């Protein structure tokens, strides 16, 4: 019954109203709520959260598609914005043959893997930096009242399909890299590619969630998270040999962004790790991703628990 | 005149209110500054004197870029989003009714904002950068003054461009597309990603002649002592020329646009 209400509500309306309406429609049919359910049904809660996320995302996609020309333009804009980053790298290589000992195809490989992994997580969770605003203006309270996990609601809020532009750009550069780069392909190395992109996306997603959790305490600090998300992907687009050892250590052991692409990519490219980590480290990204996501989840729960409504 | 001074002071105070946001912004500018400074170091190690800069000048250029990123609003943001919204909702009618000039009003506010961003977002990243990298800071106090004047002209050019972007909302209703295009152009043609002297051939010549070079490339070259004497006057003339031309276009467009405004009674 709830299902039908959702589709009806969302097909008719578009924009914010549709989400409000349909999430409320859903609320009538589903009684359970995330934080108050017993441990046995945690898995059900996860499934519920993902389903809610999917429903809200679907709604925003339909709403986006109501203005198709605008979608095409903004997606292109997203594509172009990141493309300029790569144009700057191409212009650099107009003057040099190698940067930090890496050729253009190798840098393109780093760029493509980093940009694609980041693009995926940006598409899925990129709207989370709006959380601070919601805390500030008190609209987060509305989300708390709904029997849908808050994380799913915040993550799917204003889902921006235009971010496909960024992924497309990353994939394009990755394609160029794969065509030109000199890799001694083996089965392990080939499998490494999807593994690193997916694990990388999960690691960036954890950063997005942790950054949003931080905004429960510092509502105006959404830019701090840009340093780790946008800053992180920019950092990973260049070879690690460019940077000071301490910086590389920091993004390996403190905020483990190096596992997004540096460590596995160096293995694929057959290069020495600048920190002298063993080859085995290249197989760790999935594990690192799981740990990061778990930690981000803990941070999120702590943040949500610390939340005090503005009361207005 | 007094009115606009008050508006400018208001613009300054408005942005100064959000201290955590300023701190967060400084943090981000510093992180990006570090990433780019390392990249440029590798580039200049490979090719010393690229684009007429030595290594310390190139790294200084990076930190100037981070300092002026918000000041000259290279990636947009600031008053134009608000003005676009006012045009879309019709609140602009109230603005036109006020005994103040529309363009000067918003420019005064934007100059106040820029002054705050230069102090609040510009200085700290630069100081932090100077701890880790050797920067080419001018010895002559006059060079600092000359730089500040170039930055001011850059802010005016930036304002004039964004004012045009905002006015486009009179025709397009939704200014997002125009704002995005302006952001792309600002990011690339200001020299934020790469100094414009590194752009090859015709692309370089065109990029250096476009108004966006007033936002970063020209002030940075003044700071690095590339423009002195008559050359400096020429750089100022370039910036002022674009500022005047763009402001005049904005004025013209404003006249045309306000004729389109219809106030629905009620």
User: What's the mean pLDDT in A264-275?
Assistant: 91
Residue at A312 is within a domain: no
Query: Quick one: tokens of A272?
Result: 């020495």
Q: Indicate whether A123 and A21 sit together in one domain.
A: no
Give me the pLDDT at residue B252, please. 96
A11 in any annotated domain: yes
Mutate to test the interface with A, among B35, B75, B172 (most CBs of A within 10 A): B35
Among residues A25, A48, A66, the one where a domain terminates is A66
Considering the domain architecture, whether residues A274 and A261 belong to the same structural domain is answered as yes
- Give the end of a domain, one of A66, A98, A120: A66
d(CA A162, CA A119): 11
d(CA A146, CA A33) in angstroms, rounded, equals 8
Q: Which residue has the higher pLDDT, B181 or A257?
A: A257
**Residue among A85, A95, A223 minimizing CB distance to B25:** A223
What's chain B's average pLDDT? 93
Which residue from A95, A219, A221 is facing B47, i.e. has the nearest CB?
A95
Predicted local distance difference test score (pLDDT) of residue A130: 86
Nearest to A84 among B23, B50, B188 (CB): B188
In a domain, residue A311? The reply is no
Residue A19 pLDDT class (50, 70, 90 cuts): very low
DSSP per position, A62-115:
HHHHTTHHHHHHHHHHHHHHHHHHHHHHHHHHTT-S-BTTB-HHHHHHHHHHHH
Assess whether A143 and A27 both reside in one domain.
no
DSSP symbols for B171-230: HHS--HHHHHHHHHHHHHHTTSSS-GGGS-HHHHHHHHHSGGGGTTHHHHHHHTT---HH
Taking CA–CA distances from A70, the nearest residue in chain B reads B177
Which of B38, B177, B198 lies nearest to residue A244, judging by beta carbons?
B38
The pTM of the whole model exceeds 0.90: no
Residue A251 belongs to a domain: yes
Tell me how close the Cα of B80 comes to any Cα of chain A, in angstroms. Answer: 18
Domain hosting A60: range is: 1-66
Say if residue A37 is in the same domain as residue A98.
Answer: no
- Mutate one of A78, A80, A230 to test the B interface: name it (highest B CB count within 10 A): A80
Query: What is the per-residue pLDDT for B173?
Result: 76
| pLDDT for res A26 | 43
Domain boundary at A16, A51, A66, which? A66
Is residue A75 included in any domain, yes or no?
yes
Does residue A279 sit in the same domain as residue A160?
yes
pLDDT of res. B89? 87
**pLDDT classification of B262: cutoffs 50, 70, 90:** confident
pLDDT for residue A311: 66
User: What is the CB neighbour count within 10 angstroms for residue A157?
Assistant: 20
A294 part of a folded domain: yes
Could you tell me if A7 and A58 lie in one domain?
Answer: yes
Give percent of chain A above pLDDT 90. 60
Instruction: Please check whether residue A224 touches B, CB under 8 A.
Output: yes
- When scoring B15, B16, B28, B198 by the number of chain A Cβ atoms within 10 A, the one with the most, hence best to mutate, is B28
**Partner-chain contact A92 B18, CB within 8 Å:** no
- By C-alpha distance, the chain B residue nearest A84 is B188
- The reply to whether residue A247 touches residue B174, judged by beta carbons under 8 angstroms, is no
Chain B residue with minimal CA distance to A245?
A: B38
Residue A209 lies in a domain: yes
Same domain, A181 and A281: yes
For residues A111 and A234, state if they share a domain: yes
A190/A79 same-domain check: yes
Q: Across-strand partners of A102?
A: A99
**A96–B46 CB contact, under 8 Å:** yes
- A83 shares its domain with A166: yes
How many structural domains comprise chain A? 2
Nearest C-alpha neighbor of B218 from the set B245, B200, B251, B241: B241
The CA distance from B216 to the nearest CA of chain A, in Å, is 16
The answer to whether residues A56 and A94 belong to one domain is no
Question: Is A149 part of any domain?
Answer: yes
Are residue A61 and residue A80 in the same domain, yes or no? no
Q: Which residues of A touch B38 (CB under 8 A)?
A: 238, 242-244, 247
């Amino acid at each position: 019954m709830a299902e039908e209400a959702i589709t009806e509500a969302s097909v008719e309306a578009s924009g914010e109203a549709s989400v409000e309406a349909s999430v409320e429609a859903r609320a009538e049919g589903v009684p359970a709520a995330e934080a108050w359910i017993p441990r046995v049904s945690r898995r059900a809660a996860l499934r519920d959260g993902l389903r809610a996320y999917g429903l809200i995302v679907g709604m925003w996609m339909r709403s986006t598609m109501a203005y198709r020309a605008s979608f095409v333009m903004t997606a292109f804009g997203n594509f172009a914005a990141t493309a300029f980053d790569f144009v700057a790298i191409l212009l650099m290589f107009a003057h040099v043959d190698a940067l930090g000992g890496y050729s253009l195809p190798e840098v393109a490989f780093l760029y493509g893997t980093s940009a694609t992994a980041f693009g995926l997580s940006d598409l899925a969770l990129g709207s989370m930096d709006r959380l601070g605003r919601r805390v500030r203006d008190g609209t987060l309270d509305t989300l708390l009242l709904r029997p849908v996990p808050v994380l799913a609601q915040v993550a799917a809020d204003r889902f921006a399909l235009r971010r496909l532009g960024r992924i497309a750009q990353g994939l394009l550069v990755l394609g160029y890299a794969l065509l030109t780069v000199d890799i001694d392909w083996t089965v392990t190395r080939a499998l490494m590619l999807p593994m690193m992109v997916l694990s990388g996306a999960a690691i960036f997603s954890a950063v997005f969630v942790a950054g949003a959790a931080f905004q429960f305490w510092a509502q105006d600090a959404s830019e701090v998270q840009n340093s780790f998300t946008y800053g992180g992907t920019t950092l990973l687009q260049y070879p690690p040999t460019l940077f000071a050892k301490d910086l590389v250590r920091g993004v390996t052991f403190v905020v483990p962004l190096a596992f997004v692409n540096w460590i596995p990519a160096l293995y694929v490219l057959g290069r020495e790790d600048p920190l002298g980590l063993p080859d085995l480290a290249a197989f760790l990204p999935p594990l690192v991703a799981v740990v990061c996501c778990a930690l981000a989840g803990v941070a999120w729960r702590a943040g949500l628990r610390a939340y005090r409504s503005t009361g207005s | 005149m007094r009115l606009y001074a008050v508006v400018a002071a208001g613009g300054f105070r408005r942005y100064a209110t959000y201290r955590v946001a300023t701190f967060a912004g400084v943090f981000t500018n510093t992180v990006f500054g570090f990433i780019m400074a390392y990249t440029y170091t590798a580039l200049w190690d490979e090719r010393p004197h690229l684009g007429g800069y030595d290594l310390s000048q190139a790294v200084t250029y990076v930190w100037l870029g981070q300092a002026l990123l918000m000041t000259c609003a290279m990636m947009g943001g600031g008053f134009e989003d608000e003005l676009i919204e006012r045009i879309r909702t019709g609140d602009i009618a109230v603005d036109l009714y006020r005994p103040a000039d529309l363009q000067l009003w918003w420019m005064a506010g934007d100059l106040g904002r820029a002054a705050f961003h230069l102090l609040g977002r510009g200085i700290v990243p630069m100081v932090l950068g100077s701890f880790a990298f050797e920067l080419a800071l001018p010895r002559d106090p006059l060079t600092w003054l000359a730089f500040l004047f170039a930055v001011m002209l850059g802010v005016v050019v930036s304002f004039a461009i964004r004012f045009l972007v905002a006015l486009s909302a009179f025709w397009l209703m939704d200014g997002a597309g125009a704002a995005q295009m302006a952001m792309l152009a600002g990011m690339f043609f200001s020299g934020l990603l790469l100094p414009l002297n590194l752009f090859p051939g015709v692309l370089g010549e065109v990029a250096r002649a476009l108004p966006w070079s007033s936002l970063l490339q020209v002030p940075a070259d003044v700071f690095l002592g590339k423009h002195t004497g008559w050359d400096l006057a020429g750089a100022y003339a370039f910036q002022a020329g674009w500022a005047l031309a763009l402001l005049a276009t904005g004025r013209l467009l404003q006249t045309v646009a306000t004729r389109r405004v219809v106030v629905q009674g009620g």
